[in-house]
Amino acid sequence: MTDLPMTIKDAAAALRAGSITSVQLTEAMIERANTLDPKLGVYIRRLDEAALTDAARADADFAAGIDLGPLQGIPLGVKDIIATDDAPTTAQSLVLDPRWGDQGDAPVVKRLRAAGAVITGKTSTMEFANGLPDPDKPFPVPHNPWNVDYWTGGSGSGTGAGIAAGLFYGGLGTDTGGSIRGPAAFCGISGIKPTFGLVPKNGCTFNGFSLDHIGPMARSAWDCAAMLQVMAGYDPGDACSANVAVPDYLVELAGSVGGLKLAVERDNHTRVDGVLPEVVHLFEAAGGLLASAGAGITEVTLPNWTVIKSAHTLTSNVEKYVYHKVDMPSRWQDYGRNTRFSSAQGVLVDGADYVQAQRVRSYGVKAVLALLEPYDALIVPANGKTAPKLEGLSFESQWGSNVRQTSFTGGWNFLGFPAIAIPMGFSDSGLPLSLQIIGKPFREAVVFRIADAFQRLTDWHLRVPPIAKLEGAYA
């Protein structure tokens, strides 16, 4: 089927109008996966039969007048570091104890199922959401649907590729340094890292205890808002879970940015060495579009941003390493090459420097809140470059001395502020580029409002990769 709805919003409307059933949607997703998954490496494990059972249940509920909300009957993927009842969880690693997944559905998966979502499978990632794709291990290497010679970004790799290619409408990602926003940016879709603690992260393997965030990925900001509405909220099983009220995100999506005050930051983003000219051009165009739609735009400079990014990196190094310290001596060869370096580099960090990084964190939260006090949100690019080629991808090429200066996501994990990545155009080489909108803590509603308004004025988020059209997934 090539004339399916493109978004969760449209699919939800079609289901309620009776123009399609959840079983038909799910069968179409399965057919697309049959064709495209071998080329893209989206899934570690497909759950075709279970998904069709869930879809039939959703259809029966609709017929009985039961309406659980916009996610009812919608096919979604789950990143394979999040525990699910109906499939083992591998964390894309030979090291994870298979019994870890016996705990059953993570709270966030339970919430999606309670909302009637159809889980289509466990999506590919990086080992423990860390490292890089490793072709020497028995797990799929994810390929970018826009050009299969390129990487999807990670670690929400399979989720990002699957949404872009139309294998499901949305999915769960996690973000410790950019693992939702990076694949969203590189695959041309939308993905939000919510405020730290908004979505419970129990039932997810650790990558960074104080940095991990679970969040939704989907084609549009509206779709992400619909997913987050279900996912957010306190859970006592997560020590970091924030006991705050969850507002209605969808009611804010009126399409207007009139009267909003937006800060833009160039010194640490578009003025950084190595940023593509297309990123600069498209970022300025995005700002201009929002300004013409009625938003006020003012340039600011983030204080000590390079220091804050360094503090994030060191915190991440140590927290990752702690989790793997016990296993690394005896399982070194079972880890992928890049994961070994990425995880073990925490050995190189002194304990005092980790504590100092947490003092930088305290300073950073207060300083950035003070900077953004007059504004509703901050806009920056999500990344200064496009997706890299798979050939030659290595720890050294991604973590070396100056490589990370064009990565613009990690600082927001460190400070915990909500940040969404949405498509803003394409590079000269035809790869997606992305805008990032950052809000104040627990102000996801404003972030969604701006992102949704931008997507009503543009159609970047509705573009389809050529491979999906060629293979008949889309007309």
Partner 1 sequence: MPETISPETLVRARLDAAGIPYSDEELQVFVNQYAVVQKQAASLYIPETRYEEPNLVFSLTRYL
The reply to whether 304 sits near partner 1 by the rule CB under 8 A is yes
Residue 371 Cβ vs partner 1, minimum distance, rounded to whole Å? 13
Could you say which residues in the range 356-375 bind partner 1, by CB under 8 A? 356-363, 365, 367
Q: Which is nearer to partner 1, 373 or 401 (CB)?
A: 401
- DSSP assignment of 131-151, as one string? S---TTSSSPPP-BTTBTTB-
Phi and psi at 170, nearest 5°, equal: -165, 175
Structure tokens at 362: 């305290």
Whole-angstrom CA distances from 422 to 9, 96, 172, 187, 358 are 16, 33, 16, 10, 30
Q: Which helix (H) or strand (E) holds 288?
A: helix 277-292
The reply to whether 284 sits near partner 1 by the rule CB under 8 A is no
Structure tokens at 241: 């879970």
> Residue 155 carries which side chain, given as an amino acid letter?
S
Residue 159 Cβ vs partner 1, minimum distance, rounded to whole Å? 29
Stretch that binds partner 1, among 212-220, 275-283, 306-314, 424-432 (CB under 8 A): 306-314
Could you say which residues in the range 368-407 bind partner 1, by CB under 8 A? 395-396, 399-401
Contact with partner 1 (CB under 8 A): which of 244, 272, 300, 307? 307
The Cα–Cα gap between 414 and 410 comes to 6
The residue among 314, 366, 369, 370 whose CA lies nearest residue 345 is: 314
Phi-psi region of 56 (alpha: psi -120 to 50; beta: other; left: phi over 0): alpha
Q: Which is nearer to partner 1, 236 or 466 (CB)?
A: 236
Q: Which is nearer to partner 1, 130 or 317 (CB)?
A: 317
Could you say which residues in the range 117-176 bind partner 1, by CB under 8 A? none
Could you say which residues in the range 317-356 bind partner 1, by CB under 8 A? 317, 325, 328-329, 332, 340-341, 344-345, 347-350, 353, 355-356
The Cα–Cα gap between 9 and 449 comes to 15
Contact with partner 1 (CB under 8 A): which of 2, 34, 301, 306? 306
The residue among 49, 50, 86, 56 whose CA lies nearest residue 72 is: 56
- Residue 330 known to be catalytic: no
Contact with partner 1 (CB under 8 A): which of 123, 155, 207, 313? 313
Check residue 204 and report its DSSP letter.
Answer: B
The Cβ-side half-sphere exposure at 192, using a 13 Å CA radius, reads 39
Pick the catalytic residue from 22, 93, 179, 316: 179
Site string for partner 1, 191-220 (x = CB under 8 A): ------------------------------
Angle at 90 between CA 87 and CA 93, to 5 degrees: 165
The reply to whether 94 sits near partner 1 by the rule CB under 8 A is no
Contact with partner 1 (CB under 8 A): which of 226, 275, 314, 378? 314
Structure tokens at 192: 């939000």
- Residue 9 known to be catalytic: no
Residue 25 Cβ vs partner 1, minimum distance, rounded to whole Å? 41
Rg of the chain over Cα atoms, rounded to whole angstroms, equals 20
Question: Do 93 and 44 contact (CB within 8 A), yes or no?
Answer: no
Residue 209 Cβ vs partner 1, minimum distance, rounded to whole Å? 11
Q: Which is nearer to partner 1, 18 or 392 (CB)?
A: 392
Contact with partner 1 (CB under 8 A): which of 72, 310, 386, 409? 310
The Cα–Cα gap between 131 and 207 comes to 11
> Residue 96 carries which side chain, given as an amino acid letter?
L
- DSSP assignment of 271-287, as one string? TSTT--HHHHHHHHHHH
The reply to whether 464 sits near partner 1 by the rule CB under 8 A is no
The reply to whether 311 sits near partner 1 by the rule CB under 8 A is yes
Site string for partner 1, 215-244 (x = CB under 8 A): ------------------------x-----
Pick the catalytic residue from 93, 124, 155, 407: 155
Residue 35 Cβ vs partner 1, minimum distance, rounded to whole Å? 39
Question: Do 212 and 201 contact (CB within 8 A), yes or no?
Answer: yes
The Cα–Cα gap between 245 and 267 comes to 35
Question: Do 260 and 450 contact (CB within 8 A), yes or no?
Answer: yes
Pick the catalytic residue from 9, 22, 79, 137: 79
> Residue 298 carries which side chain, given as an amino acid letter?
T
Residue 404 Cβ vs partner 1, minimum distance, rounded to whole Å? 9
- Residue 320 known to be catalytic: no
Q: Which is nearer to partner 1, 24 or 202 (CB)?
A: 202
Tell how far CA 231 is from the center of its chain: 14
Which spans of this chain sit near partner 1 (rule: CB under 8 A)?
239, 303-304, 306-307, 310-311, 313-314, 317, 325, 328-329, 332, 340-341, 344-345, 347-350, 353, 355-363, 365, 367, 395-396, 399-401
The residues assigned a catalytic role are: 79, 155, 179
